[in-house]
A and B are shown apart, each in its own frame.
Chain A
Amino acid sequence: MKNEMRTGRKRREITAIVLRYVMIFVFMLPMILPVLWMLSTALKDNAGVFATPPQFIPKVFQWGNFKEAVIQSKYLQRFGNTLFIAVLCIIGSILSNFMVGYALARFKFKGRKMWFYLIISSMMIPGMTTVMPVFRFWVAVGAYGTWLPLILPAWLAGPFNTFLCKQFLSTIPRSYDEAAKIDGATYFQILSRIIMPLSKPLIAYMAVSTFQGSWNDYMNPLLYVISKQDKWTLALGIARLGSGTFGIEWNVYMAADILYFLPILVVFFIFQDYFMEGLGSMTAAGVK
């Protein structure tokens, strides 16, 4: 009797799990099919792209599309440009946000609360409201057509990361700072040798998300370097590939598109655990 009940319950549990798997799989299809379609298109020859009925698995694998994509999208140069900008943004955003986060979390200076609220409230301002005066500023200082407008803002502590940093540093016990201070450490040493090593997950999260932001950014390159083709980033290059005068073959275009997001995919998979952890702590920070 008891045994029967147990097997009955077990059966129900197994059905529930199988049902869950089926649903997970069904909902997963629309998530991955477009990506698979893109991959399959990128490998087809020109005749295969618009063949009817559609070829889901290419009849001919034309790997040369990727080579063609590298040439047509000027991939190497634009990859270099984008990487250069992204790396500088990462360094700047980590340094500047840790400085400001440290100040807000540790020093009782006059006006601290005021600055904190100013930073928080500036998160709400839509980018478009500030973009025209900022554009005018960059033109006025002669930085139009350079990468300065894309890089420098990252060195001046964006509000969201500052907030994240301040929340995170507040969770590190003050006793660490004080012990170091007694040993004669300066504030900069406390920040660089004690606080930052304790904040590795946050640093990883900020590095990955800044990298993403910089790699994905379309509007700023569009505003500032559109007139200088050799300064284009990948995002701009890929977006403009379709609107060229000759038009581009779709298989090559899809190949270029894949090459564009491949680096970000690789970075994501390497730092996946850190990133998810950061996402979790981010929501926790936002909630508190």
Chain B
Amino acid sequence: MSKEKSAKAASPVKKQRKAWWHGENFHGYIFMIPTLIGWPLFCAYPMIWSAYCAFCDWDGINSPKWAGLKNFKYILTIDPVFKKSLLITLEYALINVPIMLILGLALAMLLNKTIRGIKIFRVLYYLPVIIPSVATLVLWNFIFKQDTGILNVMLRSAGLKPVGWLTDEKIVLLSLSIIRWWTVGGTMMIFLSGLQSVPGDLYEAADLDGAGKWAQFRHITIPMITPILFLQLITGLIGGLQAFNEASIMTGGGPNYGSHFINYDIYQTAFGSSKYGRACAEAWILFIIIAILTMITFSKSEAYVYYENE
């Protein structure tokens, strides 16, 4: 750094002569062009515009009319759907995040061993993740069918009562969760790469000191993978709060709004009933919830996330 400065001081004339289009400033911004267009267009403008529209009546055709807090008042005090959407979305995300983390880590530990055929097993566990969400939902729609779906057929032949997988308000979230658990291979793969980056000599040293398997897991594995655990926690939470396809393709938000996820609610409010202003207000509430949850997770992270380089 100081060397650079002295070089600058030594040849001030030469530096000044260098034309502006040769400088790092100019070239940096040339290469930044995609972001310089994309960020304002797909981030800054939409955020500002939707924040403004949250306080407006807007049908999507005429220009928005200022309405003050009307949208928020309606959403938070009158609208029965929004509150329910919010609750079931939170329930769905907060229950599934820890389950996915534990299941993913357990499976990663199971498959973290070089034995014959392990690569094939890993790919087969990952298979449900490769299948696109639309295809997955179509498949499970068939499996969950009330009268003829394979699950209920099997339950019936075992002498049990068939379950209203997608038609019982109390069951539907569980059914959709099962589909999510089915794709645990993604979480597993990320944990697997984390486990493999833990230096082996740590375990050897622990072995010499006579530490048991559980102690090794508790005091080496877990601390070493906390950064990945943390990353998965954040992405899982943000992803879970934004469930959409399930409601749109499988359940239509039903039965009795039992799977009316908040993202689907926003979509319906905007593109279904043309209340764009109200939808913007709902979207901002979702954004604020996600921001708060992310910040809480971040602020608590210092207590348990271990970074090697610090």
Contacts and interface: CB of A to CB of B under 8 A. Distances in A.
A26 B27 CA distance: 57
Q: How large is the interface on A (under 10, 10 to 19, 20 to 34, 35 or more residues)?
A: 35 or more
Contacts of A218: 133-134, 245, 248-249
B262 to A, nearest CB: 8
A235 B276 contact: no
B132 A261 contact: yes
Interface stretch (A60-68, A114-122, A170-178, A197-205): A114-122
B99 interface: no
B153 A108 contact: no
25 contacts: A28-B124, A34-B143, A35-B131, A38-B139, A41-B142, A96-B38, A110-B25, A125-B287, A128-B242, A129-B284, A130-B42, A132-B46, A132-B53, A132-B279, A132-B280, A137-B45, A156-B38, A187-B30, A218-B133, A219-B244, A257-B135, A265-B130, A279-B190, A283-B231, A287-B227
Contacts of B189: 276, 279
Greatest chain B CB density within 10 A among A34, A38, A253 is at: A34
B37 A156 contact: yes
B150 interface: yes
A130 B43 contact: yes
Contact of B197 (A99, A131, A253, A284): A284
B110 A38 contact: no
B238 A124 contact: yes
A17 interface: yes
B184 to A, nearest CB: 9
Nearest to B113: A20
Contact of A128 (B32, B125, B286): B286
Interface stretch (B66-74, B159-167, B199-207, B264-272): B264-272
B248 A130 contact: no
Contacts of B248: 218-219, 222, 239
A286 interface: yes
A53 interface: yes
B182 A31 contact: yes
A223 B271 CA distance: 9
Interface of A: 17, 20-21, 23-24, 27-28, 30-32, 34-35, 37-38, 41, 49-50, 52-54, 96-97, 99-100, 102-104, 107-110, 112, 115, 118-119, 122, 124-134, 136-137, 153, 155-158, 162, 187, 191, 212, 215-216, 218-219, 222-223, 235, 238-239, 241-242, 250, 253-254, 257-258, 260-261, 264-265, 268, 272, 276, 279-280, 283-284, 286-288
Contacts of A131: 46, 270, 283
A27 B126 CA distance: 12
B110 A109 contact: no
B107 A27 contact: yes
B34 interface: yes
Contacts of B47: 125, 129-130
Given A130-B50, A132-B53, A133-B53, 20 more contacts: A20-B115, A34-B182, A100-B35, A107-B24, A107-B28, A115-B35, A119-B39, A124-B291, A125-B43, A130-B47, A131-B283, A162-B35, A212-B130, A238-B138, A239-B137, A239-B249, A264-B130, A283-B193, A284-B197, A287-B227
A222 to B, nearest CB: 7
B142 A129 contact: no
B241 interface: yes
Contacts of B245: 218-219
A103 B32 contact: yes
